[in-house]
Structure 1
Amino acid sequence: MHIIIIDFETTGLSPQHGARPTEVAAVRIKNGQITDHYQSLMNAGVSIPAFIENLTGINNTMIRTAPPVHQVMHELAEFIGDTPLVAHNAVFDSKFLDIELAHIGLQRRQEMLCSLLLARRCYPHAPTHKLTDLIKYIGLPSDGHAHRALADVQMTARLWLHMLAHLCCTYHLSHVPLPLLAQIQRIPVHSLTRFMSHYCKGA
């Protein structure tokens, strides 16, 4: 399986209300291993609110000397190509990715799966499904600064690989194809066992 996990840090929650990205990171996973990564701060010409600075540690001084957003997005587009994408809360990251690509005349061609939705089905009894809370709940290593893009994609990569192993072990699968993962993240949590039973009988 070849996927890329992606994460944006931004000036706010919604690009429709003027928020812009301040940082992006992506890691490439091939055959269960991280093989490459891309990370960069970026300057979109938008001031970072104080509460975002406190959350991410990214401040306006850092952004002032960062490369312009269009340069970073061109580099990111080259890095991800048409490889399937994963993000933790993909609804958030896909909005920023799609709008920033549109600003430079490009369009996302691939599907983006959501590790948050998949985690809700793999670990329905977790107290929360926030990334850092899941990492603690499962007992995976955590390094770096949460809400910095590279640290977040590295944690998401560990979570993703753990969920694949969990599904393989639970349902006696040799591997979990991406189309199956796309189905799993959409079905109701209470229907997962029945769905997987039918899938395994037909596999």
Structure 2
Amino acid sequence: MGALTDDPAVREMTFIVIDFEGTTPTGHPPQPTEVAVLALKIRPGGGWERVGAFESLMKPPPFAPLTAADTQQTGITAAMLADAPTAAEALATLDSYLTAGPYLLVAHHAPVEGGMIYHRREDCPVLSAIDLIDTILLAKHLLPHLENYRLDTLLDHYKIPRPKDRHRAMADVRVTAEVFSRLIADAESTDSIQTLRSLKTTARRRAKASNPVQAGLF
């Protein structure tokens, strides 16, 4: 391993790769229908170790029904969601596992995942306070020659096979985790990012729930 993964702050950190699938109802923020996470740490001898995983379908509220387009993209059907927990229940369960930080979330196009979490912050107060590492920002820094930074483009660049269930949350989390590990390896091979602090400077999206609330005007 290199300087970045030798940084004690990186070795202490648990990186939680996260992905949501959801519906986009008119007049409302996106509503989650599925969430998946993989928790990663650097092994004492080097390399990545998966230390936890979670996935759950979620029944959307009546104002945000699953559409035919949603099903076509993800393969998730209304029948699959009929007996699923609500988002409040699923995210509260996920939140209850977050007891051994420090944590950073990792997501591809993190504002989407961050927004989904923020709108459910009362259900997952621990999760909603965790900053995110955006693999798009990291890839733009390390791979400035790419035509675009869509997840499929990065999979092609790194010759990572696309899973058959691409656009399901756990499948996307697994390939995002692989992309993240390859980006970290690139950062080490070029010495362009050598500390957790510089990683955050390059690719962090702050958790919206951690932003100070402006005092009301009198």
Tell me the TM-score range normalised by the shorter chain.
0.7 to 0.9
Q: What pairs up with 1:130-149 in 2 under 5 angstroms?
A: 130-149=150-169
Tell me: CA distance 1:58–1:161, structure 2 relative to 1, closer, same or farther (3 Å): same
Report the counterpart of residue 166 of structure 1 in structure 2: 186
Task: Please tell me the root mean square deviation across aligned C-alpha atoms, in Å.
Answer: 2.2
Q: Which has the higher contact order (CA 8 A, sep 6+)?
A: 2
Of 112, 115, 119, 2:135 maps to: 115
What is the alpha-carbon distance in structure 2 between the residues aligned to residue 132 and residue 53 of structure 1? 20
What is the alpha-carbon distance in structure 2 between the residues aligned to residue 105 and residue 11 of structure 1? 19
Contiguous gaps of at least 5 residues in structure 1: 187-203
Of 49, 55, 58, 1:42 maps to: 58
1:55, distance to aligned residue in structure 2 (A): 0.9
Contiguous gaps of at least 5 residues in structure 2: 1-9, 43-47, 205-218
Task: Return 27-36 or 85-94, whichever deviates more.
Answer: 27-36
> Percent of pairs identical after alignment?
27
Report the counterpart of residue 55 of structure 1 in structure 2: 73
What is the alpha-carbon distance in structure 1 between the residues aligned to residue 41 and residue 25 of structure 2? 31
Paired residue total: 182
Q: What pairs up with 1:1-203 in 2 under 5 angstroms?
A: 1=10, 2-12=14-24, 17-31=28-42, 32-45=48-61, 46-81=64-99, 82=101, 83-102=103-122, 104=123, 106=125, 108-171=128-191, 176-185=194-203
SS in 2 for 1:142: coil
Tell me: CA distance 1:105–1:58, structure 2 relative to 1, closer, same or farther (3 Å): closer
Which protein has the bigger helix share? Answer: 1
What is the alpha-carbon distance in structure 2 between the residues aligned to residue 59 and residue 123 of structure 1? 37
Tell me: CA distance 1:9–1:159, structure 2 relative to 1, closer, same or farther (3 Å): same
1:124, distance to aligned residue in structure 2 (A): 1.6
**Contact map agreement 1:4 1:80 (CA 8 A) in 2:** no
